Amino acid sequence: MKRFGKVAVMLGGTSAERPVSLNSGNAVLAALLRQGVDAHPFDPANRNLGDLIGGEFDRVFIALHGRYGEDGCMQGALELLGLPYTGSGVMASALGMDKWRTKLLWRAGGLPTADWTMLDADSDFAAVEKQLGLPIFVKPAREGSSIGMSKVTEPGTLGAAYATAVEHDTLVLAEKFIDGPEFTVAVLGETALPLIRLEPAQDKAFYDFEAKYLRNDTQYHCPAGLSDDKEQALRRLALDAFRLLGGQGWGRVDLMLDRFGNPYLLEANTSPGMTDHSLVPMAARAAGHDFDALCLAILEQTL
């Protein structure tokens, strides 16, 4: 695989999602090595980015999640260094990491997303509960993996949920609950892969960090159980949502259907997980790509 030259697999980092990123990066590294790629681990938490030049690397596979890896910061640094990298560019990465600005852009572009309001310490929490209705999802706007997220089901508890979320981000979003199934759509190049329907165990209030990475009783349905017309419509919606943010290369878009079958976009992920519990590899398998082939296809986009 001399055509790729020397590849840095960027993993770990300093965000709250570091453990997930280490798992993703090590899985990607092993897959590339199995295929003869001259790949090496590179953890920006303990290495200077100048080592990328000093080490004569030719390109970077970004397997970082969260802040300083998925939010445009690393993408901008690599642009300045003149190194090709996987995934979206600076703008799309920054937008995709920010759930609030993602929703603003989608709504301005005429795409469906659930109603929301932004919270701060001076918010009238009782009025927000009345405005959005219960349940309400409360999320740090710029965190991933459901970190700091909670579901408010009891009147008078929105303030406590805000206090939890604001520990992780100064921007906190309260979002109207959509009563229906959750789906994810992986994007590879210009193609939306088969939908996956997510079904957390009955004792989970929602698809949280534990359900994503630690539990083995979360169910993933692919095929998702939709009609072909509905599946194709949601794939098109996900591609439109990804493109509106400026997404490139690969990524993931999460959405829900309400009880009437109407779709609502939740968020976009421009550097999705690549662990044994991750959704993009699962969708790729359904489309006929094993994990090694998926990693190579993502890397090929840097040529």
Which whole-number Å values give the CA distances from 139 to 29, 146, 164, 202, 209, in the listed order? 32, 8, 9, 21, 13
Is 267 one of the annotated active-site residues of the chain? Answer: yes
Which residue is listed with tokens 């609950």?
Answer: 177
* 11: amino acid identity, one letter: L
The residue from 23, 24, 93, 145 that is catalytic is 145
Question: Cα(22)–Cα(14) distance, rounded to whole angstroms?
Answer: 11
| Active-site position among 85, 162, 213, 264 | 213
Verify whether residue 3 is a known catalytic residue: no
The alpha helices in 48-157, defined as continuous H runs, are 50-54, 73-81, 90-97, 99-108, 125-132
> Which of 235, 49, 210, 217 shows the shortest CA–CA distance to 145?
210
In what order do the strands lie in the sheet containing 172-176?
Answer: 116-119, 172-176, 136-140, 150-152
Q: Is 231 a catalytic residue?
A: no
Catalytic option among 23, 24, 88, 269: 269
- Choose the catalytic residue: 13, 89, 144, 273: 273
From the list 254, 264, 271, 278, the catalytic residue is 254
Cα separation, 279 vs 184, whole angstroms: 8
Answer yes or no: 273 catalytic.
Answer: yes
**In one letter, which amino acid is 65?**
H
Q: Does 54 participate in catalysis according to the annotation? A: no
- 23 assigned to active site: no
For residue 296, give the nearest of 90, 77, 1, 71 by alpha carbon.
1
165 and 150 Cβ atoms separated by less than 8 Å: yes
- H helices present in the chain, as ranges: 18-34, 50-54, 73-81, 90-97, 99-108, 125-132, 158-166, 209, 228-244, 279-286, 291-300
Residue in 142, 252, 271, 278 annotated catalytic: 252
| Dihedral over Cα of 58, 62, 68, 70: its sign | positive
Q: Which of 12, 13, 15, 17 is catalytic?
A: 17
Query: Which of 69, 267, 271, 278 is the catalytic position?
Result: 267
Residues belonging to the active site: 17, 145, 213, 252, 254, 267, 269, 273
